[in-house]
Every structure is written in structure tokens, then in C-alpha cells.
Structure 1
Amino acid sequence: MFISAPGCVFMTYLGFMIAIGSETVYVVPHSRIEGAFALFITAVLYAIFFAISYNSEYSQVQRQQNVDEWINSQEIREAEMELQNLPKQQPTEQQSEDFQ
């Protein structure tokens, strides 16, 4: 992902430089259009790989968050079930005197 983003920008820049006939980038005159087209195709491929890697990285984070939420909900349900299953104790005489 970190290589694809600058690669896309750099290839697009070089493509424009060659397409407009800049003197800073020397290309054989009869292949200037073909060279610019090839650089634009390369930039598109870099953009595609960037999108794939970005999606892969951040969908994995979302999946982990979903798993964490599910684990927390299961722990809460188990705690609620344990509270429901506790036997109800009758207050002893000492406890009833303390309340009065």
C-alpha cells in the first residue's frame, strides 16, 4: 500500500511530462505517445493494487472489531445467565433483625 500510492503519483507525473513533450524527460520522439500511454497504464495498475491492499488491510480491522464485539456480547450473556441461576437465599433471623 505504501509503495503503490507514491508509485501511482510518480507514474502519472512521468506520463504527463512525456505526453506534453517536456525536455526534462527524454524519450525517443517516435515513441513518446506509446511511452506516455504505458506510464498511464502502470499508474492505473498501481492504483488498483493500492485499492486492493487498502481494502485488505482495513477490512481485516473491521472483522477483528466484529469478533471482539461478539466475544463481549457472549461474556455479557454468560454473566446474565449465571446471575439468573443463582439460588435465592432466604434472609436469616440475624439479617432480618438488622433490617429492622
Structure 2
Amino acid sequence: MVSCAQYCMFISAPGCIFMTYLGFMIAIGSETVYVVPHSRIEGAFALFITAVLYAIFFAISYNSEYSQVQRQQNVDEWINSQEIREAELEMQDIPKQPKSNLQESAEQLPQ
């Protein structure tokens, strides 16, 4: 299942690339993209600003998605260390088993 952060990353990455491409095409005056001549610089600037916004949203989404993974790993490691510590403490609290009758009789035999 795709999370919201993954969807935003999926949309933001190509959006940033495409807006940067269009900004360069308009800035150099390419004939493949027609813009009214007096607003060419303003249009290119607006596209670059849009590309920066897409990049910011990509960074926020990436950080949100993959910092959760790291936090979950840290929590899992902490839980495991606590379980190991509790098991060690339980092992220390167990009283030593008394010797069985067979062991006592074996020790009493003359050698």
C-alpha cells in the first residue's frame, strides 16, 4: 500500500524535473515552447520557483517516509535490548537447584 508521503515523492520528483526543463526552455527562448515575448523572463522565473517548491515537497516527503523507518528500527532495537536485560535479570534471580539424590549418593561413594 502506498502512503501519502510516497505519493508526494512520486509526484514531486518528475514535477521538479519537468518544471526545471520548461524553465530552461523558456529562458533560452526555444521555439518549441511559445511564450509571449515580453513575459519570457517572468515565466521562466515562475517555473524555477515552482521547481524549487516541488523539490522542497519531495525533501519533506522523503524525510517523513524514511525517518519513520529509522525511528521504528530504533524502537525495535530498544525493545529487544530490554527483553534481553529482563531475561538476564530473571536468570540471576533463579535460585540454584538443590542437588538431586543421585548426585549426592554418587558423591558419598568411596573412591
Which of 20, 33, 37 is the equivalent residue of 1:29? 37
Q: Distance in 2 between matches of 1:95 and 1:26?
A: 98
CA shift digits 1:59-85 (9 cap, x unpaired): 111110010001001100111111011
Number of residues paired by the alignment? 99
CA deviation after TM superposition for structure 1 residue 95, in Å: 2.9
Unaligned runs of 5+ in 2: 1-8
- 1:40 equivalent to 2:48? Answer yes
* Residue 74 (structure 2) aligns with: 66
Percent identity over paired residues: 86
In the alignment, structure 1 segments of 5+ residues that lack a partner are none
Give me the TM-score of the superposition, normalised by structure 1: 0.93
Structure 1 position 44, deviation (Å): 0.4
Q: What is the letter of the counterpart of residue 25 of structure 1?
A: V
**Structure 1 stretches of 4+ moved >4 Å:** none
Name the SS of the counterpart of 1:21 in structure 2.
coil
Please provide the CA RMSD for this pair.
Answer: 1.5
TM-score normalized by the length of structure 2: 0.84
Are 1:9 and 2:17 matched, yes or no? yes
